[in-house]
Amino acid sequence: MSRPEDTLPPDLFYNDAESRKYTTSSRIQNVQVEMTNRALSLLHLQTPSLILDIGCGSGLSGEILSSVAPSSGGPHIWTGMDISASMLEIALQRDVEGDLLLADIGQGVPFRAGTFDAAISISAVQWLCNAESSDTSPQGRLARFFGGLYASLKRGGRAVCQFYPKNESQRSMVSAAAIRAGFGAGILEDGGGTKGAKVYLVLSVGGGLLRGLWRGWRGWMLRRGVGEACKGRGGRRLGGKGGSSGF
Amino acid sequence: MKILTVNFLTCAVKACKSSPLSFPLHFQDAELEQSDIEYNAAFLRNILPRVDWEALKITANELGFTTVPIEKPDLTPTSTATDKNPVRLPINTSEPQATDEKTMRDLHTLLLETEVREGKMVCGNCGHEYKIKEGIANFLLPSHLV
Ligand SMILES: C[S@@+](CC[C@H](N)C(=O)[O-])C[C@H]1O[C@@H](n2cnc3c(N)ncnc32)[C@H](O)[C@@H]1O
Ligand SMILES: [Zn+2]
């Protein structure tokens, strides 16, 4: 099956018909909800927070943020960025609570420094790897995105980006761009090696915080600074067939 | 587009990144709408330290609100008062608490429930216009401005 990213740019791929099909599919809804909850749990938010939803689409991910119960530290207030006007139009029709910006994350993140407590991105960042034109490159767009995201988060803030890397090289290109922007970064994989594998890039501003977070994790690839350290060589396998490691 | 969000948005044009004139963006032809969002005191306490009060006053003024306090309200006075003065707690806190509550509710209404549905935001440095349609601001830039 061909990847949508390889067929069209995102604003053309997610036209009215595709956006509707995407949003009304109960299979997609379930997967997006599950991944958003996973991302949210990795953020460890204790109080109602201001969150950026990167590539928010029709709001399947964002509305989870609005519905977190006070007993679990919510509800959160979110702002979404998306490049597809059709997706945002559906978000409007669905009456989501978050604010919506029509914006290309490859152009940056237009918020002042230290705005957000946290950010999530569910199934969007891989789109940045497909940008071939005379005035942009995937590397340039990834750099502007992660640079802007880094600046827009408050100190100690975290971001979790679930994405679908096409291959090993896309996966390293994306994490390397995040690290170059200043993030402490790690990759967590649920169901590795299976068809339903999910990759989460976990980022923090001011790397110290991540240390405690890693401790509970079994065998995930850990990257800090520009170098890369593997925590337990069998790590990738451990995170594999057994599915999610959880906390 | 919530007033809260506008307090954090800056001009996306590369050349404006370092200019103090690029924040806040200035409203033109704004049409407002009131929405209904559940009051969330914990969120307000979390976000208020990050709100740029001078920018909020400029925005409120452009949109025709005259009720924004001159100074950013200190939302922690009751806890400070009780820490310092635990004995007089019943007498001392009743009134400030009432004021706090009112201030908080007003802030909630302004920051979270007041939305700009149509209009535009203009950068004070480069003049770029960000159109708002159905509450969605368009931040897509032509590539030469990125
Ligand atoms: C699979 S959808 C996910 C939407 C939503 N996060 C969810 O979980 O349902 C991917 C979204 O990323 C958006 N996207 C892709 N490239 C983008 C870019 N450069 N800037 C902003 N959004 C982008 C697409 O328009 C699409 O809405
Ligand atoms: Zn500007």
* Ligand 1 neighbourhood includes A96 CB (under 6 angstroms): no
Q: How far is A195 from chain B (nearest CA, A)?
A: 35
The residue range of the domain holding A113 is: 4-246
* Euclidean distance between CA atoms A142 and A150, whole angstroms: 12
* A38-65 pLDDT tens trace: 999 999 999 999 999 999 999 999 999 9
- pLDDT value at A9 more than 80: yes
Q: Report the C-alpha gap between B140 and A83 in whole angstroms.
A: 8
Chain A residues in contact with B4 (beta carbon < 8 A): 77
Per domain, the residue ranges of chain B are 3-76+98-127
Query: What's residue B26's pLDDT?
Result: 98
Interchain proximity A92–B135, CB inside 8 Å: yes
**A4-18, A71-85, A177-191, A203-217: range with lowest mean pLDDT:** A203-217
Strand partners, A111: B9
User: Which A residues, 196 through 225, put their C-beta within 8 Å of a C-beta on chain B?
Assistant: none
Q: What is the pLDDT of residues B27-68, one digit of tens each?
A: 999 999 999 999 999 999 999 999 999 999 999 999 999 889
Task: Tell me the pLDDT of chain A averaged across its residues.
Answer: 86
Nearest CA in chain B to A105: B140
Both tokens of residue B141?
């830039």
As a whole number of angstroms, the distance between CA A204 and CA A201 comes to 10
Q: What is the ipTM of this complex?
A: 0.87
Instruction: Name the domain count of chain A.
Output: 1
pLDDT at residue A133, as a whole number = 73
Measured in angstroms, the CA of B85 and the nearest CA of chain A are apart by 27
A110 touches chain B (CB under 8 A): yes
- Look at the block and give the residue holding tokens 């827009």: A152
List the end-to-end C-alpha distance of chain A, in Å, as a whole number. 34
DSSP B9: B
Tokens of A188: 């967590």
Q: What is the pLDDT of residue B89?
A: 44
- The Å distance, Cα A90 to ligand 2 centre, comes to 29
pLDDT band, residue A207 (cuts 50/70/90)? low
CB A239 within 8 A of CB A192: yes
If 0-12 CB within 10 Å is exposed, 13-18 middle and 19+ buried, where does residue A15 land?
Answer: middle
pLDDT in tens, A106-139: 999 999 999 999 999 999 999 999 876 777 899 9
Please, which residues have CB within 8 angstroms of residue A228's CB and are 6 or more apart in sequence? Answer: A221, A222
Compute how many other C-beta atoms are within 10 angstroms of the C-beta atom of residue A123: 20
B8 touching A, CB under 8 A?
yes
Q: Which residue of A has its CA nearest to B144?
A: A135
Token reading at A175? 């994490």
Structure tokens at A128: 């940045």
The three state secondary structure string of chain A is CCCHHHCCCHHHHCCHHHHHHHHHCHHHHHHHHHHHHHHHHHHCCCCCCEEEEECCCCCCCHHHHHCCCHHHCCCCEEEEEECCHHHHHHHHHCCCCCEEEECCHHHCCCECCCCEEEEEEECCHHHHHCCCECCECHHHHHHHHHHHHHHHEEEEEEEEEEECCCCHHHHHHHHHHHHHCCCEEEEEEECCCCCCCEEEEEEECCCHHHHHHHHCCCCCEEECCCCEEECCCCHHHHCCCCCCCCC
Ligand 1 centroid vs B90 CA: distance in angstroms?
53
Q: CATH code at A105?
A: 3.40.50.150
User: In chain B, whose CA is at the least distance from the CA of A136?
Assistant: B143
Ligand 1 atom showing the smallest separation from residue A36 Cα: 8
- Tell me: the pLDDT tens digits for A15-42? 999 999 999 999 999 999 999 999 999 9
Is the minimum distance from the CB of A105 to ligand 1 under 6 angstroms? yes
How many Å lie between the centroid of ligand 1 and the Cα of residue A121? 8
CATH class of the domain comprising B3-76+98-127: mainly beta
- Checking phi first, is residue A25 left (phi over 0); if not, alpha (psi -120 to 50) or beta? beta
Q: Does B143 touch chain A (CB under 8 A)?
A: yes
Q: Does A101 touch chain B (CB under 8 A)?
A: yes
Q: Measuring CA to CA, which residue among B46, B50, B31 is closest to residue B134? A: B31
Contacts with A75 from chain B: Cβ below 8 Å: 38, 40, 43
